[in-house]
């Protein structure tokens, strides 16, 4: 990342804890949970009946109402978060060179709601009644495509799909586009809307979701000994990445600087992490190397921390591998304890958390950490936010298929 420096100048989020950035941030610091009984469909027959839904979202607030009928919810979330990020950064694409503004927004699953709806139509009414918009509605790249059309960005335009590592990969690859001088600005992040019957049926069949249905707000408990699976969330996170010289020229506010990016594969299993988090450790080490930093330079890790037995243990082991004795001195928290797991959107929302932690000198907690696990024995910032001098943050995202991504952001001096 040394050729051109890349900074974050805008952030937009749509989350179960709020869709205004400062509301979301204050709810995180207060240790609030966005998990509740699912309202999107009847959960009677499902083992898991809880999730982190985005509340009070109206797609027509961000796009022409006619287009809302031609787009899946995951695309609508991407548009909402992107428009918030663009406004936060104070960018008007039309007043600059649109060829130098790109979009890279990914999704782990894409248009699950559309697939479910249209399969039902096919079975009930036959192939002639399937929507001609079905394919454009469900394909993952349409989030980037629609955002580019609505804001007029004509630079690099693509999507990343790497399960729960998607958004972190999107930010890392967008930063590379700026480093290589293919763009001055990238609108980058992830989006997900998989709180559907099919989404829940699939994850329930894998026994991946928490069944602590009677206590929704206490169900997501990363690193706690009594964790029993992750809780599904939904939403979107988009960051405006910008070349430093471009940001300075227009006197933009700067949240943080993108310092390092790690990207590795486990080559091990479809859904389980490599033993002892070997792939995740290599990803963190690569990000440190690219950033030119030592392990002791990291002040805070926003962990992948999904609240699964194997995943949390392996990530803890990976952190110990990379940071050695310093691992016990590190602040490590999982904000998924409050938002649930936003799948392909998680990495961008959590990178935003890192940027805000740097801005305000506050580390959000891991809530519901009540029962220490001997195999998860780091400082997880239990249950209460912590004031700290946060200069450098690391964000981990680990996805099904053995995809590992790490992003390091630091205070811009």
Render 48-61 in DSSP notation, one character per residue: --EEB---S--GGG
| Active-site annotation holds for 304 | yes
- Res 200: pLDDT: 97
d(CA 315, CA 376) in angstroms, rounded, equals: 9
Residue spans per domain, the chain? 6-249, 262-410
pLDDT tens digits along 123-153: 999 999 999 999 999 999 999 999 999 999 9
Please pick, among 169, 246, 304, 412, the residue that the annotation labels catalytic: 304
Spot the catalytic one: 164, 354, 376, 393: 164
CB–CB of 198/112 below 8 Å? yes
> Are 257 and 244 a contacting pair, CB within 8 Å?
yes
Domain 6-249 -> CATH class = alpha beta
Q: How many CB atoms lie within 10 A of CB 39?
A: 11
How many C-beta atoms surround the C-beta of residue 59 within 10 A? Answer: 18
Is the pLDDT reported for residue 256 higher than 50?
Answer: yes
> Any catalytic annotation for residue 341?
yes
**Whether the domain at 6-249 and the domain at 262-410 fall into the same CATH topology:** yes
pLDDT of residue 1: 45
Output the pLDDT for position 413. 84
Distance of alpha carbon 327 from the chain centroid: 24
For 89-100, the pLDDT digits (tens) are 999 999 999 999
CATH topology of domain 262-410: Peroxisomal Thiolase; Chain A, domain 1 (3.40.47)
User: Are the C-beta atoms of 169 and 162 separated by less than 8 Å?
Assistant: yes
SS3 call for 13: strand
Handedness of CA 345, 59, 45, 118 (dihedral sign): negative
Q: Which residues contact 203 (CB under 8 A, 6 or more apart)?
A: 48, 209, 232
Instruction: Mark whether 403 is an active-site residue.
Output: no
Q: Which of 341, 376, 393, 403 is catalytic?
A: 341
R_g of the chain computed on alpha carbons: 20
- Cβ(230)–Cβ(336) below 8 Å: yes
Average pLDDT of the chain is 97
């Amino acid at each position: 990342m040394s050729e051109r420096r890349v900074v974050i100048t805008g952030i937009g989020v749509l989350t179960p804890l709020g869709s205004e950035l400062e509301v979301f941030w204050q709810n995180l610091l207060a240790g609030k949970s966005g998990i509740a009984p699912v309202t999107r469909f009847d959960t009677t027959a499902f083992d898991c009946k809880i999730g982190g839904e985005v509340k009070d979202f109206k797609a027509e607030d961000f796009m022409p109402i006619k287009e809302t009928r031609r787009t899946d919810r995951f695309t609508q979330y991407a548009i909402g978060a992107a428009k918030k990020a663009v406004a936060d950064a104070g960018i008007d694409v039309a007043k600059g060179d649109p060829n130098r503004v790109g979009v890279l927004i990914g999704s782990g699953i894409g248009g699950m709601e559309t697939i479910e709806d249209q399969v039902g139509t096919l079975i009930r009414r036959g192939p002639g009644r399937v929507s001609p918009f079905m394919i454009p509605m469900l394909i993952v790249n349409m989030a980037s495509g629609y955002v580019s059309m609505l804001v007029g960005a004509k630079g690099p335009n693509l999507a990343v799909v790497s399960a729960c590592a998607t958004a972190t990969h999107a930010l890392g690859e967008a930063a590379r586009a700026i480093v290589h001088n293919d763009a001055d600005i990238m609108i980058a992040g992830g989006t997900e809307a998989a709180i559907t019957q099919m989404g829940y049926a699939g994850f329930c069949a894998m026994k991946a979701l928490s069944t602590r249905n009677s206590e929704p707000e206490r169900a997501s408990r990363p690193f706690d000994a009594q964790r029993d699976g992750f809780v599904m969330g939904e939403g979107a996170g988009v960051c405006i990445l910008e070349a430093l010289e471009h940001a300075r020229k227009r006197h933009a506010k700067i949240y943080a600087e993108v310092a390092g990016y790690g990207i590795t594969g486990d080559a091990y299993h479809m859904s389980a992490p490599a033993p002892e988090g070997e792939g995740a450790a290599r990803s963190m080490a690569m990000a440190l190397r690219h950033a030119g930093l030592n392990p002791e330079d990291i002040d805070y890790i926003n962990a992948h921390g999904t609240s699964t037995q194997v995943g949390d243990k392996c990530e803890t082991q990976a952190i110990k591998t990379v940071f050695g004795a310093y691992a016990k001195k590190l602040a490590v928290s999982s904000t998924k304890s409050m938002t649930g797991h936003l799948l392909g959107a998680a990495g961008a929302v959590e990178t935003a958390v890192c940027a805000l932690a740097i801005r305000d000198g506050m580390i959000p907690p891991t809530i519901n950490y009540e029962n220490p696990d001997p195999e998860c024995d780091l400082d997880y910032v239990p249950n209460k936010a912590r004031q700290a001098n946060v200069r450098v943050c690391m964000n981990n995202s680990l996805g099904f298929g053995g995809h590992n991504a790490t992003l390091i952001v630091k205070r811009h001096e």
